[in-house]
A = this chain, B = another copy of it.
Amino acid sequence: MINNQWSIILIGAGNVGHHLGKRLYEKGLHIKQVFSRTKEKAQALAAEIQAEALTNLSKIDPNADLYILAIHDDAIPEVASQLSLNQKLIVHTSGSTPSTVLQPYAQRFGIFYPLQTFSISKEVDFEQIPICIHANNKEDIIFLENLAKKISPKVYRINDEQRAILHVAAVFVNNFTNHLFQIGYNILEKENLSFDLLRPLILETAEKIQEHPPAEMQTGPAIRGDEATIERHLLYLEKFPEYQSLYELLTKSIKKP
């Protein structure tokens, strides 16, 4: 199915597009064109993966086999509407957008979602990245599954409804967690203490969770029912009323049986 004639168009050369493009290329997939509105981004990635760099959507080859939209959620419908898909498969890489947003523009559409947070400057280990795939027909599901298996051993079939729920959970474990790091940072900053004091603890907590369920790893005053410490902490947090409310609600939630 995937042979030398077979080709991918990658639309987007940001954090996801950059890493995904490089990984596909390293695994022998042929990326024919890379599009980015930012010329430098398109050229930089295209040079790395032996693709043609494009900054004009109308130049996209209408006869490629797979179109991957690695762009901002909001831009997906507009970009999709400008492609001539000729019954070819189009997917996007977003965790928070249903595949059906592509439905008005394509007969064959789906998802190719690497569940990780990417930064251009930081290498990632694709062997550890779950790839969530979905399509609106069985053949394309199987095709995307096989393609995903070329770049990661962790491939999951996740439909739109499941992916929406996965996104809620990801907001808790990633976005909200980062905000708790920010709160720790702000508390220490106010007291002229370095956030470096907490960085190793943060990393160790995340490493432990790789092999244990979170319930086994829960520690601290709330789970111990250490009311004296909780009271002291709430008193200190009078300085930060907003953090005090969060402390109270999170403590209550931990205590719940």
Q: How distant is A207 from chain B, measured CB to nearest CB, in Å?
A: 7
A164, B170: Cα distance in complex, Å: 31
Q: How distant is A147 from chain B, measured CB to nearest CB, in Å?
A: 19
Q: Is the CB of B180 within 8 A of A218?
A: no
Q: Interface range on chain A: under 10, 10 to 19, 20 to 34, or 35 or more?
A: 35 or more
Identical copies of this chain, number: 2
> A130-B200, A203-B206, A206-B205 are known contacts. Are A175 and B229 too (CB-CB below 8 A)?
no
Q: Is A77 part of the contact surface with B, judged by Cβ < 8 Å?
A: no
> Which B residues are CB-close (under 8 A) to A170?
184, 198, 201
Chain B minimum-CB-distance residue to A248: B249
> A177-B180, A181-B209 are known contacts. Are A171 and B220 too (CB-CB below 8 A)?
yes
List residues of A whose CB falls within 8 A of some B CB.
73, 96, 115-117, 119, 122, 124, 128-130, 132, 154, 156, 158, 162, 164-185, 187-188, 191, 193-210, 213-215, 217-223, 226, 229, 232-233, 236-237, 242-243, 245-247, 249-250, 253-254, 256
